[in-house]
Structure 1
Amino acid sequence: MRLLLRILRYQLVTSMIVLFLGAGLFYVSVRYLIDREANKELFQSQVKVRWQLRHLDTLPVYILQLGDSLQLQPVAYPGRPFMRETSMLNLAENEYQPYRQLVFYERALGQWYRITISKMLLQRQRLLETVVMTITFIVALLLISLLLLNSWLSERLWKPFYKTLGKLDHYQIQQHETLQFKKEETLEFDQLNHAVTQLTERIAAAYQNLKEFTENASHEIQTPLAVILSKIEGLFQDETLTESQLVTLSSVSEAANRLGRLNQALLLLTKIENRQFLAGTDPVNLVPIINGKLRDLEDLIVQRKINIQTDLEPVGLVIHPALAEILVNNLLTNAIRHNVENGKIIITLRERFFSVKNTGKILNLNPERLFERFRKESTASASLGLGLALVKTICEVNGQNLKYDIDNEWHTLTVSW
C-alpha cells in the first residue's frame, strides 16, 4: 500500500497546487476584465462631459449613473490626465467604498477645470468575489471528485499487484512450490504473474537439484571416508611402522575424522534448512535432555574443573526432539569448550527462554559473527566453527530468537520463544 499512498499524496499535492494557481489566475483574469470595462465606461463618461462643456452654457452637475459622481474644480493651469483607484465615504451607508477615478482637464467659460469622474466598484467587486468563489468551489469539487475517483481506480487497478506481492512474501522455497495465479484483466499484471510463475518454477527446480546434489555428495563422501578410516586403523596395528610414520598416520587420521565430522555437520545443516525435521504440536521438555547431556559431558566437565549450576523448570518449546538435543548439546559443548580452568556455567530454563551462561575469555570480534558458518575466535581451535551456526539455523527454522550477550568475563547465549 505504500506505493498507492505515495501516488495519492502526489496527486493531492498536485491538485492543491493546480487549485490555488487556477484560482489565482482566474481572479486576475476576471479582475482585469472588470477593470477594463470600468475604464471603458469612464472614457465614455469623459466624452459626454466634454461635449456638455463645449456645447452648453452651464457646467454639468447631474449624476452620470447611480453611485457615480462628477466633480469640477477650477484650476489655474491644466495638468496631465490620469486614472486611479481610491476609497470614498458613502454618506448613504456611512462607510468607505472602492471607486475608480478618471481625472482630466478641460476649459469652459474661459476657465480651466480639473474634472474628476468617480465610478463605484462595489457591485463589481462583489460580483468578482462571487464569481471567483463559485468557480473555485466548482473546480475544487471537480478536483476532489477526480482525486477520489483516481484513488478508487488506482486501488482497484493495483489490487492484482499487491495480491502477487503477498504471495511472494509467503513464498517458501523449502516447500518446492510454484506460484500460480488467475488470469488478470490487466495485460501488464497478467504478464507479471506469468513471469513470476516461470521464475518460481526455475527456482524450485534449481533448489531441488542443489538439494539432491548436496545429499548425494554427502552420502558419497561417507563411503570413501569410512574406507580411509578403516585402512588407517589397520595401519595402526602394523608393528613395523616407525615413530615418524605413526605421527604422519595420526595426522592423516585426525584430518579424516575432521572431514567426516564436517560432512555430517553440513549435511545436518542442509536437512534443517530444508525443513526435514518438522516440529510436532506438543512442546518438548528440555529438562531431561539437559540432564542427559550434562551426564554425557561429565568427564570433560571434571577435566576442566568447571562448576555447573542449574535452575530448571519443567517447560519446553515446540520443536523436533532431534533438533532439541542438537540445540542443547551445542550450547553446552560451546560453554565447556570456551570456558576457563575452574570456570562456571549457569544453566537457566524458564517458561519463555533457555540460557547458558559461562565464564570465558574476552572476545576479539563481534559476538554476532560467531553465528556465521566456519566463524570461530581463533584459527588454532579444533572446532569446526559450525556449532553456533547450527543453533542459529535451528532457531530460525522454528521461530525462536537467539541472542549473545557479553558482560566482562561472562558469556550468555539465550534462546527465547
Structure 2
Amino acid sequence: MKLLERIFRYQLRASLGVLALGAVLFYVSVNHLVDQEVNRDLVRSQAKVSWQLRHLGVLPVYILQLGDSLQIEPVEYAGRIRAVERNMLNKSTNEYQPWRQLIFYEQVEGQMYQVTISKLLSQRQELMKAVVMTVTFIVALLLISLLVMNSRLSRRLWKPFYKTLHALDSYALEKHEVLTFPKQQIIEFQQLNQSVTQFTDRLAATYQNLKEFTENASHEIQTPLAVILSKIEGLFQDESLKESQLVALSEISEAANRLAKLNQALLLLTKIENRQFLAGTEPINLVPVINRKLRDLEDLIEQREITVKTEIEPTGPVMHPALAEVLVNNLLTNAIRYNVACGTIDITLAPGRLVVRNTGTPINIDPELLFERFRKEGTHSASLGLGLALAKTICQVNGQTLTYKTDGPWHTLTVDW
C-alpha cells in the first residue's frame, strides 16, 4: 500500500470517528439543553399558576403555551413535588406522544389541589433532531472537503518524491549513471535528491574501480599462469627427468590448469553479478545452443556410455547469447559429470521452461545448497564447485528461476522464465 493511500485511510477513519463522536456529544448536549429549557418552562408555569391560586382565590384561567396542558384536581393531602415523563394521548392529533409533567400541590380556601402541568416534547425533539442532523451534515461536508483537498494537496506535494523513487527503480549501475534532479521548492525533497545524486556518484565510481580491479587482477593472474604452464610443458619434453619428477610435474600442471579455470570462472561470475553483460532484447532460441553443446560433449558422453534423450522446441528466454551458452553448458556438464556409468540424460525444452534430468547417485544434503559457491557433493577433482552457482547467478540477473530437485536416482534442474 502506498504512503498516500495509507495516510488517506487513516485520515478517513479518524475523521469518521471524530464525526461520530462529535455527533453523539452534540446530540447529548442539545438534548440536555432542551431538557433544561423544558424544566425552566415548567417552573415558570408553576410560579404563574401558584400566583393565581394564591392571590385570586379561584381556579386559574391562565392560558399556557401552545401544546401545554393544565389539570387541577382536589386531593385530601399534599404530596411531594415531582417531574415525570409519560406517553399520553394528544387529542389534537389523536396520537400518543411524549409529555413531561410537573406535579405540585396548592391550597385554596382550605382545599388542597393537585396541579399537573404537562408540556409536549415531540415538537422540541423533532426540532432537536433537525438541528443535530443539519449541523452533522455541515460538519461531514466540511470534513469531506478537507479530506479531498488534503488528498490532492498531498499528491501534489509528494510528486517529487515519487519521481525520485521511480528514478531509483530504473537506475542501472552498469550504465555508470549519476542521477540528477531538477531543483525542488520543498527543502526536504531537495536534500533527498542531493543525497541520492551524491550516493549514485560514489556508487558509479566504486563500481568502475571494482570493474577495473577485477579485469586487471584477472589479466595479471593469467600472465604468470600462462608462463607456469608453458614452463611445465617445456619440462615435459626433457627426457632426463625421472618418473617421480614427471609425476610431480603432472600434479603441478593439473593444479595450474585448475587455477586457470577457477580464475576464469570467478571472473565470469563477477562480471555477471556486476551486470557487465547487456540484457537481451529478444528471446533466444536454445535449440541450436543445446545441440551445439551436445556435439562438443559427445566424446565424454560416449566415453561414459550415457543415453541422451531430447524433446526440445524452438523457444527460449530473453538473455545475452553468451550467458545462454554458459547456462546450457554448465547444466549439461553437471548432468554428465555427476551421472552414473550407462546412465540417462533427459532434456526437455518447452515455452517458459528448460528441464535437464539425469540419473545419479543419491545426495545427502539439501539440493538447494549445491547452488552455493564451492559446494559440491562427493569428491570430483575436475569440479570447481562453481558450475551451479554460475548457472544460478545467470538466472537471477535475467529474471529466471533455477531449481534443483531429486527423486530417487533422478536429479532434475529446471529453469523457468
Normalising by structure 2, what TM-score? 0.92
Q: Indicate the residue corresponding to 1:410 in structure 2.
A: 410
User: Hey, what's the Cα distance between the residues in 2 that align with 1:283 and 1:39?
Assistant: 87
CA contact (8 A) 1:54 1:108 kept: yes
Structure 1 residue 262: deviation in Å?
0.8
Compared CA separation, residues 381 and 87, structure 1 to 2 (3 A): farther
Q: Indicate the residue corresponding to 1:371 in structure 2.
A: 371
Q: Indicate the residue corresponding to 2:342 in structure 1.
A: 342
Report the AA paired with residue 118 of structure 1: S
Compare 208-217 and 232-241 and name the one that shifted more: 232-241
What number of residue pairs does the alignment pair up? 417
2:167 counterpart of 1:132: no
User: Hey, what's the Cα distance between the residues in 2 that align with 1:338 and 1:223?
Assistant: 32
Compare 382-391 and 335-344 and name the one that shifted more: 382-391
Structure 1 residue 402: deviation in Å?
2.8
Q: Indicate the residue corresponding to 2:230 in structure 1.
A: 230
CA deviation vs aligned residue, 1:328-379 (integer Å, no higher than 9, x gap): 2111100011112221001223344332111123333333332332232346
Query: Secondary structure of the equivalent of 1:77?
Result: coil
Q: Indicate the residue corresponding to 1:192 in structure 2.
A: 192
2:88 counterpart of 1:82: no
Q: Indicate the residue corresponding to 2:99 in structure 1.
A: 99
CA contact (8 A) 2:58 2:108 kept: no
Structure 1 residue 6: deviation in Å?
0.5
Structure 1 residue 248: deviation in Å?
4.3
- RMSD of equivalent CA atoms: 2.3
Compared CA separation, residues 320 and 152, structure 1 to 2 (3 A): closer
CA contact (8 A) 1:63 1:69 kept: no
Compare 347-356 and 100-109 and name the one that shifted more: 347-356
CA deviation vs aligned residue, 1:205-260 (integer Å, no higher than 9, x gap): 11111111111111111112222223333444555655555544444333222211
Compared CA separation, residues 276 and 39, structure 1 to 2 (3 A): closer
Query: Percent identity among equivalent residues?
Result: 70
Q: Indicate the residue corresponding to 2:12 in structure 1.
A: 12
Which runs of 5 or more residues in structure 2 are unaligned?
none
CA deviation vs aligned residue, 1:391-414 (integer Å, no higher than 9, x gap): 223333444443333333222223
User: Hey, what's the Cα distance between the residues in 1 that align with 2:159 and 2:282?
Assistant: 39
Compared CA separation, residues 39 and 401, structure 1 to 2 (3 A): same
Q: Indicate the residue corresponding to 1:202 in structure 2.
A: 202
Query: Secondary structure of the equivalent of 2:267?
Result: helix
User: Hey, what's the Cα distance between the residues in 1 that align with 2:71 and 2:316?
Assistant: 104
Q: Indicate the residue corresponding to 1:156 in structure 2.
A: 156
Compare 25-34 and 156-165 and name the one that shifted more: 25-34
CA contact (8 A) 1:77 1:112 kept: yes
Report the AA paired with residue 255 of structure 2: A
Report the AA paired with residue 202 of structure 2: R
Query: Secondary structure of the equivalent of 1:178?
Result: coil
2:295 counterpart of 1:303: no
Which runs of 5 or more residues in structure 1 are unaligned?
none
Q: Indicate the residue corresponding to 1:118 in structure 2.
A: 118
User: Hey, what's the Cα distance between the residues in 2 that align with 1:287 and 1:67?
Assistant: 98
CA contact (8 A) 2:100 2:120 kept: yes
Query: Secondary structure of the equivalent of 2:355?
Result: strand
Structure 1 residue 124: deviation in Å?
1.4
